[in-house]
Structure 1
């Protein structure tokens, strides 16, 4: 089992990627 810090790191990375994708979608909807 990986360490808690690794799990948090992976979770934060996935969360950031998801947010960036959503932001890009909203940004493209503006134009």
Structure 2
């Protein structure tokens, strides 16, 4: 379960979540300005 491929996928999905959250925050800021 803790193989290298699952670890890489976990980091990839985590990074995608960060990117999506950042884009969502920027979109909210743009909407409210």
- Range of TM-score over shorter length: 0.7 to 0.9
TM-score (norm 1): 0.86
Matched positions, count: 31
Unaligned 5+ segments in structure 1 are: none
Could you state the TM-score of these two structures normalised by the residue count of structure 2? 0.82
Structure 2: runs of 5 or more not aligned:
none
Q: Take 1:16 and 1:26, find their aligned partners in 2: how far apart are those partners?
A: 15
